[in-house]
Amino acid sequence: MGVFDRLGAEYEQIVFGHDPDAGLRTIIAVYSTARGPALGGTRMWAYPNEDDALADALRLGKAMAYKAACADLPLGGGKAVIIGDARRDKTDALMRAYGRQVERLGGRYITTADVGTTVKDLDVIAETTRYVTGTSGGSGDPSPVTAHGVWHGLRAVAETAFGDAALTGRHVVIQGVGKVGSGVARMLKQEGARLTIADIDAEAARALADEIGADVVGAAEALEVPCDVLCPCALGPVVTDKTIGSFKCAAIAGAANNQLEQPALARGLAEDGILYAPDYVINAGGLINVADELHGYDAARARRKAESIADTLREIFRSAESEGITPSEAADRLAESRIAAAG
Ligand code: NAD
C-alpha cells in the first residue's frame, strides 16, 4: 500500500512541521476546504509514537469537517497535533514556531484550542499567525454556547422520543458537571426537569446539587440510573461493548465527544430502542462560537445559530427513521452530502 493510501487518500493535505530549535514536531491534517477554511483545534499530547499522533490528527480532522458541515458553517475541517507533554515541553518559542507553520498554510487551516492548549497559548500563537481564533481578545470560553446548543438539542430529542419538546418533569441524568454539564444542568432545572448528576469530582457534583436541587449518584452508577435522557458531558466513551445493554433510558444526548467507542455501537442502541443524538451534531455550539469570530464576534448571533442544532437533529432523526438507518449514519450522510455538494 502506498503512503497516500495508508494516510487516507480522502485528506486534502497533511503537513508535517518541524522546528528543531524550538523542539516542535507538529502534524496538521486538512481533511477538506471544500466548504471553507479548515477550522479545528491544536491538541498537544505526549503521543507514544508518531503513528499515533498522525492517526489522531486524521481522525480529529475528519470529525471537524463533519461537525462543521452538519452545523452548516462555511468551514471545512482539519485538526493539528503537537507531539509533546503540554506540562513539560510547552514554551512560547514552541508556540511561535507552531504559529509559523499555521501561517504558511495561508489560511487553509485556522487553529483554536483543544486538549493541551489554552487561550494563553493561542495569544502566543497569534504573534506569528493571523489564522487563529479563540484568543483572549476573541470569542472566549465556548462552553456556555455549547451548553446552550445542547439544551436546544435536548428539546429536539424529547420531541422525537416523547412527542413533546418540553423537558419539564423529565428525568435527565448528567454525567460530568464541568463547564458544559453544569450549564446544561442549570438550564434544565430552570425548565423544571428532574435531575440526577454525577462527577468523579464528588465535591463539584455536591456543590451544584445543593445550588440547583438535584440528586447525586456515584460516577460509576450514572450510566445505569433509570431515566428519560442520559446526558453525557464528561470525557471518554460512554457506549462501549461493556456498557451497551445496561442503559435504562429512552435517549442518550449530551456534549461529550466520542460517546460511541466504535461507530457500530449506534446500531445496538437503536435495537434497544434508545434514541441517540450524534455527539458531533449536538455539541457543535463550541465550534459555532469560534466560527462566529471570523466575522467579528457577536455573542447573541452565536447563541441563535447554536439553537439551529435542534432543527438539524430533527432532520437527522427524520431521515434515520425514513431510511431505516441510525441517527449516526444519517448525520454522516448529511455531512458527506454537504461536503460533496460544495466540492
Ligand atoms: P470539563 O473538563 O469542564 O468537564 C468535564 C467534567 O467531567 C469534569 O467535572 C470531570 O471531573 C468530569 N468527569 C470526567 N470523567 C468522568 C466520569 N467518568 N464520570 C463522571 N464525571 C467525569 O469539560 P467540558 O468543557 O465541560 O467538556 C465536557 C465534554 O464536552 C468533553 O467531552 C468535551 O470534549 C465536550 N465538548 C466540550 C465543548 C466545550 O465548549 N467546552 C465543546 C464540544 C464538546
66-124 tens-digit pLDDT: 999 999 999 999 999 999 999 999 999 999 999 999 999 999 999 999 999 999 999 99
Band of the pLDDT at 1, cuts 50, 70, 90? low
90 and 161 share one domain: no
Taking the CA of residue 284 as reference, the ligand 1 atom at the shortest distance is 43
Give the number of domains in the chain: 2
| pLDDT given for residue 81 in this prediction | 98
Residue 70 in domain: no
Distance 217 CA to ligand 1 centre (A): 17
pLDDT exceeds 80 at position 210: yes
Residue 71 in domain: no
Domain that holds residue 291: 143-342
189 and 117 share one domain: no
117 and 208 share one domain: no
Q: Name the percent of the chain lying above pLDDT 70.
A: 98
330 and 181 share one domain: yes
241 and 171 share one domain: yes
Distance 100 CA to ligand 1 centre (A): 31
166 and 96 share one domain: no
258-266 mean pLDDT: 95
What does the pLDDT look like over 87-100, one tens digit per residue? 999 999 999 999 99
Which helix (H) or strand (E) is 275 found in, with range?
strand 275-276
Residue 160 in domain: yes
CATH number (domain holding residue 94):
3.40.50.10860
User: Is the distance from the beta carbon of residue 232 to the nearest atom of ligand 1 less than 6 Å?
Assistant: no
CB contact at 8 A, 135 and 122: yes
Distance 178 CA to ligand 1 centre (A): 6
308 and 164 share one domain: yes
| pLDDT given for residue 3 in this prediction | 66
Residue 137 in domain: no
Taking the CA of residue 205 as reference, the ligand 1 atom at the shortest distance is 9
| Long-range pairs of 240-249 with CB within 8 A, sequence gap ≥ 24 | 240/265, 241/265, 244/268, 244/269, 244/272, 245/272, 247/223, 247/272, 247/274, 248/224, 249/173, 249/274
225 and 111 share one domain: no
Which of 180, 186, 217, 258, when mutated, tests ligand 1's pocket best, judged by the most ligand atoms within 8 Å of its CB?
Answer: 180
91 and 209 share one domain: no
Band of the pLDDT at 141, cuts 50, 70, 90? confident
Residue 275 in domain: yes
Q: Which residues are catalytic?
A: 79
225 and 252 share one domain: yes
Distance 176 CA to ligand 1 centre (A): 6
| pLDDT given for residue 6 in this prediction | 66
Distance CA 93, CA 37 (A): 26
Beta strand pairing call for 194-198 and 171-175: parallel
pTM of the model: 0.94
User: Is the distance from the beta carbon of residue 178 to the nearest atom of ligand 1 less than 6 Å?
Assistant: yes
136-160 mean pLDDT: 95
Residue type, 175: Q
| pLDDT given for residue 8 in this prediction | 66
Mean pLDDT over each residue of the chain, to the nearest integer: 96
Which of 221, 233, 288, 303, when mutated, tests ligand 1's pocket best, judged by the most ligand atoms within 8 Å of its CB?
Answer: 233
Residue 136 in domain: no
Band of the pLDDT at 129, cuts 50, 70, 90? very high
What does the pLDDT look like over 5-26, one tens digit per residue? 766 678 999 999 999 999 999 9
User: Is the distance from the beta carbon of residue 101 to the nearest atom of ligand 1 less than 6 Å?
Assistant: no
Taking the CA of residue 180 as reference, the ligand 1 atom at the shortest distance is 26
User: Is the distance from the beta carbon of residue 290 to the nearest atom of ligand 1 less than 6 Å?
Assistant: no
CATH number (domain holding residue 232):
3.40.50.720
Residue 116 in domain: yes
5-14, 71-80, 185-194, 242-251: lowest mean pLDDT where?
5-14
User: Is the distance from the beta carbon of residue 214 to the nearest atom of ligand 1 less than 6 Å?
Assistant: no
User: Is the distance from the beta carbon of residue 279 to the nearest atom of ligand 1 less than 6 Å?
Assistant: no
What does the pLDDT look like over 40-55, one tens digit per residue? 999 999 999 999 999 9
Band of the pLDDT at 295, cuts 50, 70, 90? confident
Cell 447573541 belongs to residue: 300
User: Is the distance from the beta carbon of residue 196 to the nearest atom of ligand 1 less than 6 Å?
Assistant: no
Distance 75 CA to ligand 1 centre (A): 25
DSSP per-residue string spanning 127-189: TT-S-B-S-TTTT---HHHHHHHHHHHHHHHHHHHHS----TT-EEEEE--SHHHHHHHHHHH
185 and 109 share one domain: no
User: Is the distance from the beta carbon of residue 142 to the nearest atom of ligand 1 less than 6 Å?
Assistant: yes
What cell numbers appear for 300 in the block?
Answer: 447573541
pLDDT exceeds 90 at position 200: yes
DSSP state of 38: E
Distance 4 CA to ligand 1 centre (A): 35
Query: Which are the contacts of 278, defined by CB distance < 8 A and separation ≥ 6?
Result: 70, 316, 327, 328, 331
Closest Cα to residue 43, out of 99, 85, 1? Answer: 85
Residue 68 in domain: no
User: Is the distance from the beta carbon of residue 199 to the nearest atom of ligand 1 less than 6 Å?
Assistant: yes
102 and 53 share one domain: yes
| pLDDT given for residue 343 in this prediction | 78
Taking the CA of residue 143 as reference, the ligand 1 atom at the shortest distance is 40
